A and B are shown apart, each in its own frame.
Chain A
């Protein structure tokens, strides 16, 4: 499956331009979408998931026009929205079974084995008969994953799937996704850089409705090799002066002290040590580049 997005633009009635002439090609396998809040990730995801119109541009899914042949796309789609709720007083089992019917799995036997497998996989088996409305955030999120995977979807869109999961849950989910993602197209949007690093063969960074970078995470890292420098800063004044003179990508607290990371072709000053680049550096470097532009 190949998803080809060409020149996609979307402006909301309130004037916010969510997507600006955005083009991307996404093949089989996991594709990560990184970007800050409001970058247009969700707009893009919703548009691909047939839930939103575009003002201009096309989306092609193996010959299907996603913007017009919505029903065809929906048949092969598995979608986990960024945020979703559930009906009160319905159990996970009933609801999955119902959604399976709606997804066209009409053979009762197939449906049963699929629903059970998913409940096992998402670790909801024990609570399958409990009302969804009593689920915690993590449990609900796992249910969302389960429903997205119901009908062997060819195109899976998961929007911020790991938000609200605890570390164990997150790991399980990523594993599950990885195992499925080999044969189908999975688009994963997140602002957690590690998700992408761990999972995705390819990725894109989006900000203000535009693609800042597209490629394999490894390639992106290589570009920054040797250009990331780190140093411990002691005082706030010092921090301020460094910020104004250098391209500070990020700062972390390490044992109560600030460690800043700076992008520079050569050592920016005394005390700076070269460090291996991380995907996060790529992300921040691209964002700051865009802001300067």
Chain B
């Protein structure tokens, strides 16, 4: 009996098309993840990660399991429902069948089908490894177990658990609505849950892994800190090793158990009798019977048998009637949609998603910001967009097919009404629905702003974004879907095509089809900024939207001509009809064709003719070409810049500037220099002249590299003056990729727009995958410390040491223009605003920027050691939130740095806001451009939260010492002398501002960033003192190492070392310091027992594995407590290949006992103990009853499992 149901189910599944569609879908999906780097999660990750390695297969399996929720629901949910939909239950349940046979057979059939379908995931990935065009450097040998293990342990368990859930729900409810929606519902609830969890930025790594029912979090927890080597060799392990011992096993056991329990529940509750299975149907039947009896009631009334005459009516046809018909149809269609549950379900989910996303609109880059309108719109619209598109596609199909689906077409199609009216009414109905959903989105946005405590509502901005930018796109999608649905013979094929076009968009984009003119509905990228509004993105957006709207409307005209009417189904028949219908449509078609061609042509002219249209690949080619052609000149002796004088006129309205400049160049080498090499990345330079005879002997095709030969070589020690004109003109508009440097309000460009001496190695591609594609050799390591050439080069500006700097800059009359230097003059002439800045004789790095904007300015004077210091913040009037906090952090920073390091070398420190097209802050001499998106709208909600404004301000200020006083040579390690020391300085400012307890939060945060950074390393990790390009080392690890060192040997000792080092090496010229001197300076201030910290911290990569095994307390007779801590400590050194080697222990580690609520503990006991054994027990006496205790409680040491350092203390 069981076998019969099972085989029946299998036969049914094997006969149904959907089974094969699902299978092919999975095969294709995983095929692409291997065969195309531009697809899937792994492709975009680290360039050394195997595409068919164990980690890749695990990730593919878990994504298949996640997105497959809907497929699992579709397969399992329908299997019992089928009997009720097709009324076969009456036949079935009147036969003697057992519950086991029925449920078990159906379930097993679905399970086997589902497993078979998902096996496509393995097949596809395996096939992908044979694709000739794939990146075979990233494809290893195929191991069967690497495919099978993730499939069995993730996908099959998932199918078992979720399948049983959907099966049980389907069997118990037997409602089509629930069965079809449960998959989507579970999927969405899960996605929302995950978003919420991730947004809390929790570092909890046990329960979040165990309780994750689907697996995305679980895998993140398990593999969070895996290195590339581990990802290429390890499968998720069921044992108790690794960084999250047991989590995988517990998770799989838990959810398999839940699956079994669900099966039990179904067994217990599923009734095997027609009577109880059909209660609900009986209710429906009763309602119908009632209606019919009402009808009979009417029929019994004696009606006259004499023939009646119907009243005479008049038919009127004409434009007015067309309008009335249109309105009647439209309102009927809108009413029908609004009366359907699916619409409200979609609306409810949209609201739920928007509420959720909106709630996190104030979280940005791991910290809180004010939910300003653009962030809120972006959040709510981002979550609504999917649903707006679903509604467009879904209702386009529903409306095109509704008459046929309801078999009302016979009546509808014979009505005296034009096809255009019908089409327009369908479009209007969709428009109305979308408009309502957009209004909901907007209301949610404003509601969430209110909830988040931000009440500066900018309704106009909502309306602009939602109704002027998004609405046309959504309606374009609707028109496109209507067109597709009109032409295809079947609604589901239509859905397939529409979804295909939508899903493939990013894929084809990655394959280089980046023009917004090609793929249906593509619009150029744009960014809203409070400083600029839509700014310079408006024309591109406007023409693109016009182009696509006209093009889709043209498809609309075709749809009208091809509208299905009557029984004609053959394409030839419909084409004939369309041809006959066309003449009256011709004017509209002609007009739309003209609009499409006109708007598209104008767009093309701007994006492709007036501007170079460069795809990402083109841009890579340009960089690779530059490296290939000119790398050979890298070591060529060149003069250094010693003075810069520039006169720059900024034209914000046209996003342009022009000017003139003079560089003084000096030959600081011992040999004559015959030719001067220049890089001109943006081709801004013209009319370049030297103060002596010379000629242009080479100009690259792109004009990005120029060689001028001097008639007489520049002798050692001699100088030459180079003068030139500069101009950058923004012409028309581009297809996205607008230069972020130029804005109508908030211009900010730097030395990249000036000629640069020699070959610029910053232009080199650093992603190994891209280098392989371009057939470039592996990136060269930086020169070792002490290198005879590079030690003489400035790390940041290899073509200069220190310069004198003078500039005149002008801008629009209502803007302020800023460049480094002390203001000399400020005047207005010819409707322009002029400023003159001069750096005087202060040592100034050859690193300057020009800014212009409509700023409000806050000024104050700080009493510095060497005289008053002007503190200034230039900000957008809408962003006043943190101006005070920035000034406060600046004062705190100046206090600390002047006291501990050296006096501030400048008499001003200025922060200026720039538009959020770029999100960073950067330290130019006494000038810090700071993005609108980070500090200016940052918000510290909770005193324990990261205070990003203060942190970034203190960090950038510290660069005035570490980067503008002290600069290392162009060798390994030098980057940490600016970034790590700035990070350390900022830590200390934070500690002064917020107290010592606050630092645990910071350490934990940056520890996680370091560990994740090293897990994503594409090349190899370097020790701190030899760091090259690894920013997670110089920021996140560096700060931690320095902070811990200060904690161990004393803050004053570290600062003394830094002071000594700074005073000996600042303003270096000709020979630059490197980390050997820094490490030595620290070493001399470190007592012998802590010397190992210097070696471990700077010269090695060392990881601890500290853990508390047990913690018990015992109340003594005197009321105090004996606390016994059983702790474990291990330490490993990681070599260049990422392999770990155990190290002997003789380390000092904190042992602590705490009291208080979780995360608010106060220490009862804290002592640094020397630990020499892997396992040691400490017994201490404390005054109060302890709650928590353990080893290295503040996470001062780098430890991949930071959560197990302390545990709850149990009382005995």
Contacts and interface: CB of A to CB of B under 8 A. Distances in A.
- The answer to whether A and B come from one shared complex is yes
Interface of A: 13, 46, 49-53, 68, 71, 74-75, 77, 79-90, 94, 98-107, 110-111, 113-114, 117-118, 121, 123-127, 130, 134-136, 139, 144, 147, 149-152, 168-169, 172, 175-176, 178-180
26 contacts: A13-B570, A49-B414, A50-B413, A74-B417, A80-B411, A83-B410, A85-B408, A86-B406, A87-B336, A87-B408, A88-B340, A89-B340, A90-B332, A99-B415, A100-B313, A101-B328, A104-B315, A107-B316, A110-B313, A121-B308, A123-B303, A124-B298, A136-B295, A152-B310, A152-B312, A175-B307
Interface residues of B, number: 56
Interface stretch (B531-539, B572-580, B863-871, B952-960): B572-580
A139 to B, nearest CB: 6
A126 B299 CA distance: 9
B316 A106 contact: yes
Given A98-B328, A101-B325, A123-B299, A74 B415 contact: yes
Contact of B580 (A68, A105, A152): A68
B577 A147 contact: no
Contacts of A152: 310, 312-313
Nearest to A100: B313
Top-8 shortest CB links A-B: A81-B410, A179-B307, A51-B566, A85-B407, A126-B298, A104-B315, A74-B416, A101-B328
Interface stretch (B83-91, B285-293, B668-676, B999-1007): B285-293
Contacts of B329: 98, 102
Nearest to A12: B570
A75 B408 contact: no
A53 B576 contact: yes
B691 interface: no
Contacts of A178: 307
B310 A118 contact: yes
Given A53-B576, A75-B416, A83-B410, A46 B295 contact: no
Contacts of B572: 13
B337 to A, nearest CB: 11
A85 B332 CA distance: 16
A83 B406 CA distance: 11
A244 to B, nearest CB: 40
A53 B414 contact: no
A169 B299 CA distance: 9
Given A101-B325, A121-B308, A168-B299, A151 B411 contact: no
B580 A106 contact: no
A220 B1148 CA distance: 118
A54 to B, nearest CB: 11
A21 B576 CA distance: 21
Given A147-B411, A152-B312, A168-B299, A51 B332 contact: no
Nearest to B415: A102
Interface in B295-315: 295, 297-299, 303, 305, 307-315
Interface in B660-715: none
Given A52-B568, A104-B321, A139-B295, 6 more contacts: A87-B402, A107-B313, A110-B313, A123-B299, A152-B312, A179-B307
B320 A106 contact: yes
A79 B5 CA distance: 48
B408 A52 contact: no
B291 A79 contact: no
A13 B568 CA distance: 10
Contacts of A46: 566-567
A84 B406 CA distance: 8
Nearest to A110: B313
B425 to A, nearest CB: 10
Contact of A87 (B295, B320, B324, B406): B406
Nearest to B309: A179
Contacts of B315: 75, 103-105, 151
Among A86, A99, A102, A135, residue most surrounded by chain B Cβ atoms (within 10 Å): A102
Among A52, A103, A178, residue most surrounded by chain B Cβ atoms (within 10 Å): A103
Nearest to A102: B415
Contacts of A123: 295, 298-299, 303
Given A123-B298, A151-B313, A152-B310, A53 B573 contact: yes
Interface in B172-213: none
A114 B402 CA distance: 27
A288 B1157 CA distance: 97
B339 A89 contact: yes
A127 B310 contact: no
Contacts of A86: 406, 408
B294 A103 contact: no
B418 interface: yes
Interface of B: 287-288, 291-292, 294-295, 297-299, 303, 305, 307-317, 320-321, 324-325, 328-329, 332, 335-336, 339-340, 402, 406-408, 410-411, 413-418, 565-570, 572-573, 576-577, 580
A126 B313 contact: no
A90 B336 contact: yes
Contact of A52 (B308, B321, B566, B576): B566
A126 B295 CA distance: 6
Contact of B565 (A51, A87, A125, A144): A51
Contact of B411 (A53, A84, A127): A84
Nearest to A151: B315
A83 B339 CA distance: 25
A180 to B, nearest CB: 7
Contacts of B413: 50-51
Contacts of B288: 134, 136
Given A51-B565, A134-B288, A71 B416 contact: yes
A74 B410 contact: no
Nearest to A166: B299
A283 B414 CA distance: 31
A50 B303 contact: no
Contacts of A71: 416, 418
A151 B417 CA distance: 14
Contacts of B311: 110, 113-114, 117
Contact of A50 (B310, B317, B321, B566): B566
Contacts of B414: 49-51, 74, 77, 79
A85 B411 CA distance: 9
A89 to B, nearest CB: 5
B313 A114 contact: yes
Nearest to B414: A79
A77 B332 CA distance: 23
B129 to A, nearest CB: 45
Contacts of A79: 410-411, 414
A175 to B, nearest CB: 6
Contact of B416 (A103, A134, A139): A103
Given A110-B314, A152-B312, A175-B307, A104 B411 contact: no
B978 to A, nearest CB: 69
A202 B305 CA distance: 24
B592 to A, nearest CB: 23
Nearest to A179: B307
Nearest to A157: B414
A160 B303 CA distance: 24
Among A89, A117, A126, A169, residue most surrounded by chain B Cβ atoms (within 10 Å): A126
A121 B310 contact: yes
A144 B411 contact: yes
A104 B317 contact: yes
A147 B411 CA distance: 9
B303 A172 contact: yes
A170 B580 CA distance: 41
Nearest to B421: A102
A15 B572 CA distance: 14
Contacts of A103: 315, 415-416
A2 B575 CA distance: 31
B571 to A, nearest CB: 9
Nearest to B405: A85
Contact of B308 (A110, A147, A169, A179): A179
Given A51-B566, A123-B303, A106 B294 contact: no
